[in-house]
Amino acid sequence: MRSLILKDLILNKKFLLWTGLLYFIYVAVFGSRIDNPRITTVFITFLCFIMPVMVFTREEKLKGTVLVCSLPATRKQIILARYVLGWLLMLGSFVLATIGILAVPGSKLGPEDLLNARIIMFALGLMALYFAILMPLLIRFGMVGFLVFLISLQVLGFITLALVSQSALKLNIRSSIAAVKNAFIFLSSNLGTPAYYALLIVVMVALNLASFACSVSIFKRKDF
Amino acid sequence: MENAIQIKGLRKEYKGFTLRDVSFSMPQGYIMGLVGPNGAGKTTIIKLIMNLVRRNAGEITVFGKDNLKDEAEVKSRIGFVHETPSFYDDAPLKDIKAAVANFYKKWDERLFLALIDEFGLPLDKKFKKLSHGMKMKFSIALALSHDADLLILDEPTSGLDPVFRRELLERLSALMQDERKSILFSTHITSDLERTADYITFIHDGEIVFSLPKDDIKETWGIVKGSRTLLEDQYRKLFKGARETSVGVEALTSDIQEARRTFDSDVIIERASIEEIMVLMDKGEHYA
């Protein structure tokens, strides 16, 4: 697995350096203009999760997949390396983006807003969710899978907005959102903070393990 | 001696093409040429050995190990050259080398640099800037630099100039000084096979026609040239294929001795070259 991760880092080093730098500046400047830590977190986690997506779709675009699959590694190892590298890139980008947002002069958020356990867990949860859903799509459909994911998100947003404008459904959606929020509050208050966070981490890991198993199964079926 | 490759009952179905019940073995220490017309299934067999495509049935062992169960171990002993070499197009050769070398315990940097020098490859140049021939040379350099026990080369001489093609074939023959090494290469340049191969596996329309030592083919396969009476039913069982020419009929037999016993001096019987076998199997009328 080490060789597979090194392979991606070596072959994408310039891309990671230059695109990563520009991306970092972009995320830091725009993130610093938002004064709500939760919205900032949604914004930066989404952008951080795009970083590994860009690296993985480059392999397809630059016709490197046949090379990778002919190297001494099993398809399961190839996917495992992608999940590990994906998480490393997401977490690295998140740390850099957070530092960048806080370092931009006149940032509307301070360290106390972003560097607390609740926001960090929220960020990890979002990244785990995005990553777990997207990776099988990306492995099955490549860049098209990513676009399907983005379009699905937008369609979901439109549907939600349309439903919200219907007064009859307004209450239901609000109550549904409130119910989810209440469930988290209930768990948090009943379990106590450490157990609650441990549970969230277990759920995130389980979600990613299920996604990994699904991705391996898809990748093993692919012909090159 | 252990077989370098053993394939039993291999099947792969595509829309419009099926590789059917492919079985053959390649002893360790020899060069085998996989030959057949375009679209016969040569590349599919190679991709199946490399697990680049999924098989529908059958089994493949490389040095006695299953190519799926022991995939990483099997591939670590293989040097592979794809018919259209594709790496990260945007990366310079030195980066591709650095990425690939990490995978092989036996990577020989000195040998790699010597090959790069000999092939005249610029390590700072991006892969996409190379010609097809240069890409093939780079791919060959990578495949030769990790002391692979088995080289699998898919159309390695295509796109190469005749001088380098000859050099490459000589290099491959020289590798065989080491009796542990084996080479499987596909081609439709039959002169390459005549020059280097010990065994020839001929594939046509997704089926193996024969897989034999080259000398056995020379001994047993022949072309019978004569009048149209050769196409009569009583003789057909002797032939694998036939075609009509402006002066009569050319028929392909896999039993030249039997053909000599059957026909008198009215026909001419010659040994068949690989190219003639390929042409008559591909373009001629087929018999059993």
Distance between start and end Cα atoms, chain A: 21
B130 pLDDT above the threshold of 60: yes
Top-confidence residue, B287 or A68: A68
Give CA–CA dist B97/B92, Å, rounded: 9
Sequence-separated (6 or more) residues with CB below 8 Å from residue A133: A149, A211
| A17 at B interface, C-beta within 8 A | no
For residue B47, the chain A residue with the least C-alpha distance is A224
B75 pLDDT above the threshold of 70: yes
For residue B148, the chain A residue with the least C-alpha distance is A72
Q: So what's the pLDDT on residue A128?
A: 93
User: Least CB-CB distance to A11: which of B50, B80, B91?
Assistant: B91
User: Least CB-CB distance to B71: which of A3, A59, A74?
Assistant: A74
User: Which residue of A17, A54, A67, A68 to mutate against B (max B Cβ within 10 Å)?
Assistant: A67
Q: Where are the beta strands (DSSP E) in B131-197?
A: 150-154, 182-187
Residue B102 to residue A3, Cβ atoms within 8 A = yes
Residue B87 CA from chain centroid, whole number = 22
How confident is the prediction for chain B on average, in pLDDT?
A: 88
Sequence-separated (6 or more) residues with CB below 8 Å from residue B260: B269
Predicted confidence (pLDDT) per residue in A26-63, tens digit: 888 888 888 888 888 888 898 888 888 888 888 877 77
Top-confidence residue, B211 or A163: B211
Q: So what's the pLDDT on residue A109?
A: 82
Residue B79: its H or E element: strand B78-81
Strand order across the B78-81 sheet:
B78-81, B150-154, B182-187, B31-35, B199-204, B207-213
**Burial annotation B103-119 (CB, 10 A radius, 16+ → b, else e):** bbeebeeeebeebbeeb
User: Least CB-CB distance to B86: which of A58, A67, A220?
Assistant: A67
Q: So what's the pLDDT on residue A216?
A: 96
Least confident of A190-199, B152-161, B220-229: A190-199
Q: What is the mean pLDDT of residues B141-155?
A: 92
Alpha-carbon distance A97 to nearest alpha carbon in chain B (angstroms): 27
B288 pLDDT above the threshold of 60: no
Q: Which amino acid is at A206?
A: A
Residue B51 to residue A73, Cβ atoms within 8 A = no
Residue A71 to residue B88, Cβ atoms within 8 A = no
pTM comes to: 0.84
- Chain B hits for A220, Cβ within 8 Å: 54
Q: Are B200 and B193 in contact (CB under 8 A)?
A: yes
Return residues 47-66 of A near B (CB < 8 Å). Answer: 58-59, 62-64, 66
- Chain A hits for B88, Cβ within 8 Å: 11, 58-59, 62-64, 67
Q: So what's the pLDDT on residue A19?
A: 84
Q: Which of B74, B60, B79 is nearest to B12 (CA)?
A: B60
For residue B103, the chain A residue with the least C-alpha distance is A3
Q: So what's the pLDDT on residue A86?
A: 94
Report DSSP state, residue B273. Answer: P
pLDDT-derived band at B59, boundaries 50, 70, 90: very high
| A7 at B interface, C-beta within 8 A | yes
Q: So what's the pLDDT on residue B159?
A: 73
* ipTM of this complex prediction, to 2 decimal places: 0.83
Three-state SS for A41-79 is: HHHHHHHHHHHHHHHHHHHHHCCCHHHHHHCCCCHHHHH
Predicted confidence (pLDDT) per residue in B238-281, tens digit: 888 888 888 888 888 888 888 888 887 778 888 888 888 888 88
| A210 at B interface, C-beta within 8 A | no
Least confident of A83-87, A124-128, A184-188, B37-41: A184-188
Torsion of CA A207, A209, A210, A211, to 10 degrees: 80
Top-confidence residue, A109 or B53: B53
Q: So what's the pLDDT on residue B287?
A: 56
User: Which residue of B55, B62, B88 to mutate against A (max A Cβ within 10 Å)?
Assistant: B88
Top-confidence residue, A91 or B285: A91
User: Least CB-CB distance to A11: which of B73, B76, B88?
Assistant: B88
Q: So what's the pLDDT on residue B284?
A: 58
- Beta-strand pair B31-35/B182-187: parallel
Predicted confidence (pLDDT) per residue in A59-80, tens digit: 877 778 888 899 999 999 999 9
Least confident of A87-96, A181-190, B139-148, B234-243: A181-190
Which tokens belong to A151? 């379009």
Alpha carbon separation from A119 to A125, B16, B282 (Å, rounded): 10, 55, 69
Alpha-carbon distance B90 to nearest alpha carbon in chain A (angstroms): 7
| A185 at B interface, C-beta within 8 A | no
pLDDT-derived band at A134, boundaries 50, 70, 90: confident
**Could you give the percent of chain A with pLDDT greater than 90?**
27
Q: What is the mean pLDDT of residues B195-204?
A: 89
Q: So what's the pLDDT on residue B145?
A: 93
Sequence-separated (6 or more) residues with CB below 8 Å from residue B73: A72, B65
How confident is the prediction for chain A on average, in pLDDT?
A: 86
